[in-house]
Structure 1
Amino acid sequence: MKLSDLAFEHAPIGLCMLENRIISGCNQEFARIFGGQMADFQNVPFAHFYASMEDYEKIGARALTQIRKTGRYGDERVMRRRSGELFWCRVRGQSLTPEDPFRRGIWSLSDLSEERPVVELTPREREVAILTCRGMTSKEIGKELELSFRTVELHRARLLEKFGARKLAELVAKLSGMPL
């Protein structure tokens, strides 16, 4: 086995190769994170590991736009293990085919579940939480999600309650897994 193959297989971060958003290969850490053996993930659509099909479509559209601009994409999102358990995951990817961004790419995934437990959120609350962590104001989030400022504020109020936070800075710290 070549050194580059060994490095990929034994990297201390989850790695996978995607071809048209289908897993063409992964390493041991990816298999551990998602709950299986490396062979279990061969030719499996990456959509199976999103919290919902709505997330798969929305995040995919956002990623495609960003990859077309820069060749790379990254975020933190809730994903699903093979067992169905939801967990927070840091995802970073790079297209190897800039002319067709999803044709082939390499993606890294880190399990954030120890620092950031999953709180049951609606898909809209999850979107608002992610955009809040990116530092967007309620007005900016409203524009991005085509919601009114007041609706975004209601979602943020529910997030504060669900996470037991008193103010926005505390909520962002809890969402991002930062120590308080």
Structure 2
Amino acid sequence: MDTQPPDFARLAYDSAPTGIVLTEQRVIRTCNVTFALLLGYRVDELVGQSFRVLYESDEEFEDIRDIGLIMLQQTGQYIDERLVRHRAGHGIWCRFRARTLVPQAPLERVVMSFAPINDAEPITLSKRERQVLELMNRRLTSKEIAKQLGLSPRTIDDVRSRLIKRFGVRRAQDLLGRLSGRQG
């Protein structure tokens, strides 16, 4: 008979229904099994890796860094929805929560959680579709998205239209709702 008491904290951490990860300067220091499985990895394959592994490109990795920094500095927390990259290359739409442990240097040490929103088939998007979708999720207009990406508003409208058609919805708001698991 095993006389060793169970490590309940570790059991709860690894069995949590949400992916949990601790980073220091955007490098994964520890994560639970749920987080690793969500992304198609083993825990030991992620520990020590840059958070870059979650994003399609270096540009996307750099752009996402500054999102929420002010909120982390002011409140210590940040919440959004974002598309992260599975090891197989497809995207996973997740509810993302972050809590910094060092508000004056918000990326120094951060605890994050990732919960998949849409349990349907994996999402495969082009780089441009990912960019537009992320900015739509931040409630930017086509003109604002175009300005940020250095494109014409018509190009952004074309991308939005393709996404709306592809996901079988009528409006951009319905598209975000579909990806969030809420029907529009």
Aligned to 1:126, which of 110, 126, 130?
Answer: 130
Q: Secondary structure at the match of 2:156?
A: helix
Code of the residue aligned with 1:48 in structure 2: it is V
* Residue in 1 that maps onto 2:23: 18
**1:81-92 equivalences in 2 (<5 Å):** 81-92=86-97
Distance in 2 (CA, whole Å) between partners of 1:170 and 1:136 is 15
Distance in 1 (CA, whole Å) between partners of 2:92 and 2:15 is 22
Structure 2 length as normaliser, TM-score? Answer: 0.79
- For structure 2, list consecutive stretches of 5 or more residues without a partner in the other structure: 1-5
Aligned to 1:42, which of 38, 47, 51?
Answer: 47
Aligned: 1:139 with 2:143 = yes
CA drift of 1:93 comes to 0.9
Cα deviation digits, residues 70-122 of structure 1 (max 9, x gap): 3222322222223434322222111101121111110101123414741x333
Question: Could you say if the C-alpha distance between residues 63 and 12 of structure 1 is closer, same or farther in structure 2, counting changes exceeding 3 Å?
Answer: same
Code of the residue aligned with 1:162 in structure 2: it is R
CA drift of 1:42 comes to 1.7
* Residue in 2 that maps onto 1:161: 165
Task: Give structure 1 regions of 4+ aligned residues with deviation exceeding 6 angstroms.
Answer: none
Structure 1 length as normaliser, TM-score? Answer: 0.81
Kept in 2, the 8 Å contact 1:17–1:24? The answer is yes
Kept in 2, the 8 Å contact 1:66–1:72? The answer is yes
Question: Could you say if the C-alpha distance between residues 35 and 157 of structure 1 is closer, same or farther in structure 2, counting changes exceeding 3 Å?
Answer: closer
How many residues were matched structurally? 179
**1:169-180 equivalences in 2 (<5 Å):** 169-180=173-184
Question: Could you say if the C-alpha distance between residues 69 and 155 of structure 1 is closer, same or farther in structure 2, counting changes exceeding 3 Å?
Answer: farther
* Residue in 1 that maps onto 2:3: none
**Which structure's CA Rg is the greater one?**
2
CA drift of 1:21 comes to 0.7
* Residue in 2 that maps onto 1:33: 38
